[in-house]
Structure formats: C-alpha cells, structure tokens
C-alpha cells in the first residue's frame, strides 16, 4: 500500500525544514518516503509518496503531524493499492 499526500504550504522552505526534521516520526509510523515533489506551477505545493507498512500507524501519524501543522494550510491524503489485472 502507498500513501500520497498533497501539502499546500504557507512557506515551502519552512515546511521542508519541519518535514525533514520529522523523519524519525514518519519512520516510526511505518512510512517509507518513496518520492517528494515540489509542484512547478504552484510553488507552495508539495507532494509526497510513501510506502506504508502499517495502515493504522500511518493513519495515526496523519492525526498528529504537529510539527508540520503551522506550515500547512491544506492537505489531501490518498491511500492507494497497486491495481491488479481484472
């Protein structure tokens, strides 16, 4: 399972500093960062893709991302599974 998050930040540089400092918390939540993108056309939008080893822990992490909260004005999350052949 993967988790895709769109972060609309108040300040991308401040967000990245807090995001980078929170790595251990993500690791403990069973999240492995697979990719991090900064949207070219919307400078304060960041997308993150994670591998999820434990959905419950990942959902818990989403409710307690206090380190990021001051830097995020909106976000959207999607838990995704690899599509299988019909």
Within 10 Å of residue 81's Cβ, how many Cβ atoms? 8
For the stretch 31-82, pLDDT in tens is 999 999 999 999 899 999 999 999 999 999 998 876 688 899 999 999 999 9
Task: Tell me what pLDDT residue 65 has.
Answer: 78
- Model pTM? 0.90
Q: Which residue has the higher pLDDT, 5 or 63?
A: 5
- Residue 4: pLDDT band by 50, 70, 90 thresholds? very high
DSSP secondary structure string for all residues of 7-74: EEES-HHHHHHHHHHTHHHHHHTTEEEEEEEE-SSSTTEEEEEEEES-HHHHHHHHHT-TTTGGGEEE
Task: Tell me what pLDDT residue 43 has.
Answer: 87
Helix (H, G, I), strand (E, B) or coil at 79: strand
> What are the structural domains, with CATH classification, of the chain?
2-80 (3.30.70.100)
Task: Tell me what pLDDT residue 66 has.
Answer: 66
Determine the Cα–Cα distance for residues 55 and 62; give it in Å rounded to an integer: 11
Nearest CA to 49 out of 22, 63, 65, 31 is that of 31
For the stretch 17-33, pLDDT in tens is 999 999 999 999 999 99
């Amino acid at each position: 399972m993967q988790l895709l998050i769109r972060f609309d930040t108040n300040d991308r540089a401040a967000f990245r500093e807090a995001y980078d400092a929170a790595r251990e918390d993500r690791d403990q939540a069973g999240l492995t960062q697979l990719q991090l993108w900064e949207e070219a056309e919307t400078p304060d939008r960041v997308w993150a893709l994670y591998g999820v080893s434990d959905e419950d822990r990942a959902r818990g992490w989403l409710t307690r991302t206090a380190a990021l909260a001051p830097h995020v004005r909106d976000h959207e999350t999607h838990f995704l599974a690899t599509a299988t052949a019909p």
